[in-house]
Structure 1
Amino acid sequence: MRRPAAPADRRLVAVCLTAVVLSVIAALVAGAVWLTREATDEGERIVVEEAAAAAVGELMTFAPDDDRSARVAVADRLTGSLAADYLTRGPDLVFPGATASQLTMATTVVDVGVTELVPRRARALVFADQAISTPGTAGEPERIAVVRWATMTKHGDRWLLTRLETVAAR
């Protein structure tokens, strides 16, 4: 014969069911937040990659007949001391002696991979092909594959290039 449930047993069952329901709701909310964050991070990662590719490509592309307005347009993708140095030194910042030797450099960014992304700062690895030529050189320009670390900083809603470093063996 079965005995009827006591009020204390019913309360225990109700508390357990409430705990289970609240746990499921919390798990669903956490999962939704995580999925939304992942989608936002991926979207921001793409924006950083595009900004890094554009900034590095423009910074490392120049010709002897570039005027001051071209330099200002490139500097618009830069920030901090990199922007100030570029406005002052121009192509010599990228390739020492470029101005004196009348060097022409055309850089095509092949790929970019973001390795670190935190609010307002990112670090990306940029892979590029460069075509370098000097006046009086016959034939095709010299082609070089380069890899650079690009540090990006978010200013407002734009990602700007803060630092560009050669990838070195450690």
Structure 2
Amino acid sequence: MSSETSPKPRRLLRILGALTVITAVLAGVLYFSLYRSDRRVDDSVRAAVTDTASQGAIALLSYRPDTVENDVGSARNRLTGEFLDYYTKFTTDVVIPAAKESQVATQAAVAASGPVEVQADTARVLLFVNQTTTSAAKPDPATTATSIDVTLTKSGDNWLISGFDPVQPHE
């Protein structure tokens, strides 16, 4: 009689043991994927990446003919990776000559901004930017509104812009 009842408690103990192991594994996975303190992002990080993206956009999109080399040089200090290479070539080949020859001046202002995705070492911020442009041929200011998806990469203690993509409106 005792031999008939003993398999049930053993089976129950095995099931409880298996559930305990599964629960421990699940807790570990959640900790390492969601709650690790070295991967946690708080509101101050979100504010920092949003400010960095906003100030960077203003630097990238604002220049005057008489200071364009310095303006572009200062903006380059905020960039990294392939985007730095692209920006350097584009400003050397297009922006600096146009600013000097046609007296092009631009001034950007961020109308609104917000973080889209923020992780420990990468972030994306959406910016709504108004840019006012004048030139010798068109001295009356022309203002354009653009939405920009800015990608940032952490380098040491600093966030640098690694992507700067205008958002195309959906039709």
TM over 0.5: yes
TM-score bucket of the superposed structures, by smaller chain: 0.5 to 0.7
Match of 1:168 in 2: 168
| Residues 120-160 of structure 1: CA deviation (Å, up to 9, x unaligned) | 1111111111111112625xx11221111111111111111
Q: Does the Cα contact within 8 Å between 1:114 and 1:124 map onto a contact in 2?
A: yes
Match of 2:112 in 1: 111
* Distance of aligned partners of 1:105 and 1:116 in 2 relative to their CA distance in 1, 3 Å threshold: same
* Distance of aligned partners of 1:42 and 1:110 in 2 relative to their CA distance in 1, 3 Å threshold: farther
Match of 1:154 in 2: 154
1: CA distance, partners of 2:57 / 2:36: 28
Give the superposition deviation at 1:55: 0.4
Give the superposition deviation at 1:113: 1.3
Verify: 1:92 aligned to 2:95, yes or no.
yes
SS at match of 2:103: coil
Identity of aligned residues (%): 26
SS at match of 1:41: coil
* Distance of aligned partners of 1:127 and 1:68 in 2 relative to their CA distance in 1, 3 Å threshold: same
Match of 1:70 in 2: 71
The AA in structure 2 aligned to 1:147 is S
Give the superposition deviation at 1:57: 0.6
* Distance of aligned partners of 1:57 and 1:122 in 2 relative to their CA distance in 1, 3 Å threshold: same
SS at match of 2:151: strand
SS at match of 2:56: helix
2: CA distance, partners of 1:119 / 1:126: 20
TM-score (norm 2): 0.66
Q: 1:18-167 maps to which residues of 2 (within 5 A)?
A: 41-43=41-43, 44-79=45-80, 80-82=84-86, 84-85=88-89, 88-89=92-93, 92=95, 97-135=98-136, 137-138=139-140, 141-167=141-167
TM-score (norm 1): 0.66
Question: Can you give the 5+ residue segments of structure 2 that lack an aligned partner in the other structure?
Answer: 1-34
Give the superposition deviation at 1:99: 4.5
Q: Does the Cα contact within 8 Å between 1:153 and 1:159 map onto a contact in 2?
A: yes
Question: Matched residue pairs, number?
Answer: 162
Q: Alpha carbon RMSD of aligned pairs, Å?
A: 3.8
* Distance of aligned partners of 1:62 and 1:69 in 2 relative to their CA distance in 1, 3 Å threshold: closer
2: CA distance, partners of 1:84 / 1:100: 19
2: CA distance, partners of 1:100 / 1:154: 37
Q: Does the Cα contact within 8 Å between 1:132 and 1:142 map onto a contact in 2?
A: yes
The AA in structure 1 aligned to 2:58 is G
* Distance of aligned partners of 1:51 and 1:102 in 2 relative to their CA distance in 1, 3 Å threshold: same
